[in-house]
């Protein structure tokens, strides 16, 4: 597509202008060289192209109220394993021009942009390179401050579904309004905000499916209150009728349903104590720019943001059985139309000079979550429907964890953690197995001096399914603020197949100076889910070298 190169060339000319302006450049490169391993089956494509590299160069030019930018991307010779296969070769990833006059409250963007309405249940476009997600919208966005307390956003365009100007068939359009009620009431001892959103997708597939409405709309309203100690927020989302999509993009026009979501967040904070509760119910809330992309493994074309509301754990064995949110309508393999549940977190600061607090004090953190499917019934027309608002169906996931963090001296601190999990693979991943697991973790951190430390972590998981018991550990040494070295291993000693009782080891280090960081490692990668911010993708098992580079100037 020649137009993208003309746009990029124009931006380069503008970026070279020698005026009083600011130019920001960011570079990131993530490369892997896959090697043969007698114990791990390497993906056939990796044998043909063992070297893979994902590379990004982002340039932003700012002058007065104007801003232009572009991101060039290269996936050479191909993207890292299990990234979107449409990411291949080199090209312009995103390009934009923006006028942002914050004095007058006007913000106009043409080209690629990212946006979020409310919590994201109606709309969120974003980039996450670790997950291979870049759901930027290519089109136009207009933001205006209509009043010191009222902001309005209007947008429209097509979504990025490949590299750069590979765009969705479906058109996305939307509007969002935010009202600061506190400002109107001239209060300063609390915050009260109201918001409302509308997002539409128009994808005309009437030639092949004449009975399918080309338009699917999502509407949401929300209210958030934040006081000195207590906060509460709620959001309701409604989605108009849409058809069932399963089996890698197969559309079933005779089956359809409406969607909705309820989200409630509550928090309470006083000195030394904090508690948070998140509750959510979702029904048929998958929303993609192209219907055939619904539920794809690479998260391509997602219009909204439906992360798993569970704690994001820090340690490797805690992340073997990771819950993924279940917003979609499924009929062909397993009957399910959504999820219902919630999570809680409690933080308590143990006082100094007590048995558990010690000389320097300690922290106790308790968290848990429970998620289930909605209880369903089949209608005379064959469609599924939930039986009631709060009717819990099949249990999907549960966890409960206790964490104790304590500083023992000026130089030494520790973390002790216990996690209990139930994971229903049959419904979450649609593969066989229900698993109960327990994970224990101990970590110690010792500072030789403020910029030099050593950290040791030990982990163990007991599980009654999948690959059963694991043991693991990590040793990390930082001689100064620039260098870091580590050795890591998790060992699947409990596997029922003795030949598959493997060590997933890695060794490596990093160098950091200013805004530049270089990291290198060699080892085995455990296959399974990798999650960032509650959104997950599958990664294959592999062995090889990894090199990462990030810098900004």
Per residue of the chain (553 residues), what is the pLDDT tens digit?
455 555 555 555 554 454 578 999 999 999 999 999 988 888 888 888 899 999 999 999 999 999 999 999 999 999 999 899 889 999 999 999 999 998 899 999 999 999 999 999 999 999 999 999 999 999 999 999 999 999 999 999 999 999 988 999 999 999 999 999 999 998 889 999 999 999 999 999 989 999 999 999 999 999 999 999 999 999 999 999 999 998 778 899 888 899 999 999 999 999 999 999 999 999 999 999 999 999 888 999 999 999 999 999 999 999 999 999 999 998 877 889 999 999 999 999 999 999 999 999 999 999 999 999 999 998 888 888 899 999 999 999 999 999 999 999 999 999 999 999 999 999 998 888 899 999 999 999 999 999 999 999 999 999 999 999 999 999 999 999 999 999 999 999 999 999 999 999 999 999 999 999 999 999 999 988 888 888 888 888 999 999 999 999 9
Query: Percent helix, strand, coil in the chain (nearest 5)?
Result: 5, 60, 35
Secondary structure letter of residue 66 according to DSSP: E
Which run of H or E residues covers position 11? helix 2-15
pLDDT at 13: 53
How many Å apart are CA 54 and CA 57, to the nearest integer? 11
Calculate the CA dihedral of residues 169, 170, 171, 177 and round it to 10 degrees: -150
Coil, helix or strand at residue 499:
helix
Answer positive or negative: Cα dihedral of 497, 498, 500, 503: positive
Q: What angle do CA 337, 341, 345 make, to 5 degrees?
A: 150
Query: Quick one: how far is CA 265 from the chain centroid?
Result: 19
φ, ψ of residue 60 in degrees (nearest 5): -125, 130
* Domain 367-553 class in CATH: mainly beta
pLDDT at 548: 97
Tens of pLDDT, residues 311-364: 999 999 999 999 999 999 988 778 899 999 999 999 999 999 999 999 999 999
How many Å apart are CA 279 and CA 267, to the nearest integer? 12
| In the chain, where the domains are located | 1-95, 367-553
Tens of pLDDT, residues 477-534: 999 999 999 999 999 999 999 999 999 999 999 999 999 999 999 999 998 888 888 8
Whether cis (ω within 30° of 0) applies to the bond prior to 77 is yes
pLDDT at 445: 98
Largest CA distance in the chain: 75
Q: Indicate yes or no: pTM above 0.85.
A: yes
> What are the beta bridge partners of residue 456?
444, 475
């Amino acid at each position: 597509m020649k137009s993208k190169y003309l746009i990029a060339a124009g931006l380069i000319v503008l970026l070279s202008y020698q005026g009083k302006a600011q130019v920001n450049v960011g570079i990131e490169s993530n490369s892997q060289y896959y090697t043969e391993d007698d114990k791990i089956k390497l993906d056939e494509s990796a044998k043909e192209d063992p070297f893979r590299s994902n590379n990004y160069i982002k340039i932003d030019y700012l002058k007065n109220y104007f801003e232009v930018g572009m991101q060039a991307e290269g996936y050479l010779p191909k993207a890292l394993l299990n990234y979107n296969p449409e990411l291949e070769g080199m090209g312009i990833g995103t390009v934009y021009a923006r006028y942002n006059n914050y004095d007058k409250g006007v913000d106009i963007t043409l080209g690629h942009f990212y946006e979020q309405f409310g919590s994201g249940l109606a709309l969120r476009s974003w980039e996450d390179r670790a997950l291979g997600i870049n759901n930027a919208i290519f089109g136009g966005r207009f933001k205006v401050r209509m009043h010191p307390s009222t902001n309005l956003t209007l947008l429209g365009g097509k979504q990025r579904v490949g590299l750069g100007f590979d765009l969705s068939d479906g058109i996305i359009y939307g509007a969002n309004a935010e009202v600061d009620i506190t400002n109107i009431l001239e209060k300063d001892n609390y915050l009260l905000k109201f918001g409302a959103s509308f997002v539409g997708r128009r994808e005309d597939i009437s030639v092949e499916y004449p009975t399918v409405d080309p338009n699917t709309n999502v509407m949401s309203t929300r209210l958030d209150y934040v006081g000195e100690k207590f906060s509460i927020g709620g959001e309701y989302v409604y989605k108009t009728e849409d058809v069932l999509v399963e089996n890698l993009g197969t559309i079933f026009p005779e089956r359809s349903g409406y969607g909705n979501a309820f989200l409630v967040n509550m928090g309470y904070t006083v000195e030394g104590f904090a508690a948070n509760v998140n509750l959510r119910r979702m029904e048929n809330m998958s929303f993609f720019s192209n219907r055939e992309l619904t539920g794809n493994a690479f998260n391509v074309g997602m219009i909204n943001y439906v992360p798993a509301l569970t704690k994001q754990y820090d340690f490797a064995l805690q992340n073997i059985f990771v819950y993924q949110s279940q917003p979609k309508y499924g009929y062909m393999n397993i009957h399910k139309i959504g999820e219902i549940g919630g999570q809680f977190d409690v933080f308590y600061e143990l006082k100094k000079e007590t048995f558990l607090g010690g000389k320097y004090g300690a922290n106790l953190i308790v968290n848990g979550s429970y998620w289930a499917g909605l209880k369903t019934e089949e209608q005379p027309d064959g469609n599924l429907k939930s039986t009631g608002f709060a009717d819990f169906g099949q249990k999907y996931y549960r966890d409960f964890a206790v964490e104790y963090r304590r500083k023992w001296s000026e130089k030494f601190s520790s973390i002790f953690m216990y996690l209990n999990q139930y994971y229903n693979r049959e419904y979450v991943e649609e593969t066989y197995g229900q698993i109960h697991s327990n994970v224990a973790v101990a970590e110690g951190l010792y500072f030789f001096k403020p910029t030099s430390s050593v950290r040791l972590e030990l982990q163990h998981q007991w599980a009654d399914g999948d690959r059963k018991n694991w043991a693991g550990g990590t040793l990390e040494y930082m001689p100064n603020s620039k260098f870091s070295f580590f050795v890591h291993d998790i060992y699947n000693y409990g596997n029922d197949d003795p030949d598959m009782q493997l060590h997933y080891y890695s060794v490596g280090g990093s160098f950091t100076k200013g805004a530049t960081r270089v990291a290198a490692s060699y080892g085995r990668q455990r296959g399974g889910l990798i999650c960032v911010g509650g959104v997950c993708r599958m990664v294959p098992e592999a062995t090889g070298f990894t090199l990462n580079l990030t810098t900004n100037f």
